[in-house]
Structure 1
């Protein structure tokens, strides 16, 4: 006989359903409102379904466009990802051994996470002004994003290496492998899933960042800043279409990374 489920089960199931709806409800709403015909509007009910506004994303808007800001965000996110992953891996390797002042360095590294984002943006702008350097989306924007992504990547890689078994490295050194060969042939393949995950996280954090770039972007905007600026003058579902396309782009990045890692793992096994 099957045991009868208690009322607590249905209560928790309903709570979980509301939780999922809270997470994905806004995204689903954006998807639906972006798939409208030329007569579509910004609110329900949907008048007609179509892909008209998805195509309008690639056209010139009333003020500005989405293509160039997307290219800036893509380039900035890729650079932030590469620098964050590289620096985080090297820093976490250094922290595997205790050194004098390591605790102070650790807390200084992650301290930017507790500072309000708008203050980080304001502080970077003031520093650039003091040194007479013009702020723009690339230089000052890169610095602002790294204050956000680098500590997070560093914390994750610290956790990865805390669970790493050093006996693999010791065996490689006993067999005469130099340090660089040990890292590239032993350590890196073992931590590759974490490195890929950290890279995707850093790219996403940079690609979506708004507050830390808001005061130091200069003349040209990244995609989040451009979308925010257009909310006052673009009164069409094109804004929703941008959200749909950027979400699909993020999912495609995850899929590409997964396929790439699967091929890499297969090659390693062979």
Structure 2
């Protein structure tokens, strides 16, 4: 076996340092959240316990944290659903060129390069000037869609650009209507990608701070509530909250990956069974 070149070990070391830089803060917060009752915000740790997690579940200890969590969860589901539906519709629309399609595409992408705080300010001012209430479920919802929709649309553009139209042609040859073709052929094939768009939409909304800062009104979402806690909470209860929210995010991602893997295997089995039937 040939020895590995020196560059391999240099690049491996660089990659390890990158991982430590990427996940080190999260691991540090997770470790410090398990301190004893006398624990502080820095090392060394003062005992180990679940004390700060118990404190977290006392409403008076952390303000409106559970209300903000519910708002972020509902808002994330709203944004996720809208992103999936609009992305599919947009992807289908862009399968054929139409007048103004190029301009519309660049307008969609432009939303990604405009500073988030400016969009938050603009949406908040627009609602205020129009006499509408600035609220997380209206202005906050709209501001977050300017962040999630471009990602969802770009994914759908890539998906439909590689989509084999022969499946649709075969369905139409069998007498399927346009709706039946979409429902029974197109959507099942792109289902794993739709789950990816849904995951993008939910996680981007759930973690979004800048575009919600000036559009949430008097009720904070979870990122805003955590930011507010950093100014007045000086105990590891803040780290306990970070650990739980990180665990929740990983649970969501794991669920989506599990469902996506299941759908992919189910589709592979169906294709295999169909091939055996032809034989």
Name the TM-score class by shorter chain: over 0.9
In structure 1, distance between residues paired with 2:54 and 2:262: 34
In structure 2, what is the equivalent of residue 32 of structure 1? 31
**Does the 8 A contact of 1:61 with 1:234 survive in 2?**
no
Contact 2:56 2:62 in 1 (8 A): no
* 1:215 paired residue number: 214
Report the Cα distance in structure 2 between the residues aligned to 1:195 and 1:142, rounded to whole angstroms: 20
Distance 1:266 1:101 in 2: 40
The 3 A distance-change label for structure 1 pair 18 and 266 is closer
Aligned mates of 1:144, 1:238 — CA distance in 2: 30
Alignment of 1:185-264 (within 5 A): 185-264=184-263
Q: Which residue of 2 aligns with 1:12?
A: 11
8 Å CA contact retained: 2:192, 2:263: no
Q: Spell out, residue by residue over 1:188-225, the C-alpha distance to the aligned partner (whole angstroms, 9 max, x if none).
A: 11111111011111100000000011112111100000
Contact 2:111 2:147 in 1 (8 A): yes
How many correspondences in the alignment?
Answer: 269
Find the counterpart in structure 2 of residue 154 from structure 1.
Answer: 153
What's the TM-score, normalizing by structure 2? 0.92
- For residues 83-129 of structure 1, the C-alpha deviation after alignment (integer angstroms, 9 at most, x for no partner) is 00110011011000011111011111221111111100110111111
CA distance in 1, matches of 2:9, 2:256: 38
TM-score by length of 1: 0.95
Query: What does residue 122 of structure 1 align with?
Result: 121
In 2: Cα distance, 1:157 partner to 1:11 partner: 38
Contact 1:34 1:237 in 2 (8 A): yes
| Structure 1 spans left out of the alignment, 5+ residues | none
* Contact kept in structure 1, 2:36 and 2:47, CA below 8 Å: yes
Instruction: Kindly state the Cα deviation for residue 255 of structure 1 after the two structures are TM-superposed.
Output: 2.4
State the superposition RMSD in angstroms.
Answer: 1.5
- List, as ranges, runs of 4+ consecutive aligned residues in structure 1 with deviation greater than 6 Å: none
**Structure 2 runs not aligned, ≥5 long:** 271-279
